[in-house]
Amino acid sequence: MHGLVIDIVSIVVAGTMTGTEFTVAVFLHPTIGRLPDGVHTAAAKAFAKLFGRVMPFWYASTLILSVIEVWRHWPIVTAASEMLLAASILWLLTIIFSLTFPVPVNNRIAAWNLTALPANWREDRKRWDRLHAVRVCILVVALTNLVAGILTA
């Protein structure tokens, strides 16, 4: 019974995080990008601050839960356990990628002075969106591996 609870929690935490990141990439940012500059920059700054506070814990929780799934299905001798290991590695790589590329851009956006925006604010937004699209692709693959690994274990 405990294993089922861990499986459910792992899928829900990873699924909602991936879904949130997908929603940001496909719906939220394209929508705020079409708003007038003042509204666009205020919304971008607000979301950068919010996600900058929340996502580190969500990403860490997802990684920890996926590692627990690998540990529960050790040794790595089946396709299911290999998929779980792949998911954990992808979560870890996504965290490293995020800390290296989108997070510094996100931090700049979160620190914007809305009355004196940097000259390159549009480039920062476009760069973050491109980096985020890469991240979302990796997250979808990681989530697919996690769910498939759990369901076939």
| pLDDT per residue of the chain (153 residues) written in tens, 0 to 9 | 689 999 999 999 999 999 999 999 999 999 999 999 999 999 999 999 999 999 999 999 999 999 999 999 888 889 999 999 999 999 999 999 999 999 999 999 999 999 999 999 999 999 999 999 999 999 999 999 999 999 998
CA distances from 5 to 2, 91, 124, 133 (A): 5, 21, 41, 31
* C-alpha closest to that of 117 among 40, 18, 52, 49: 40
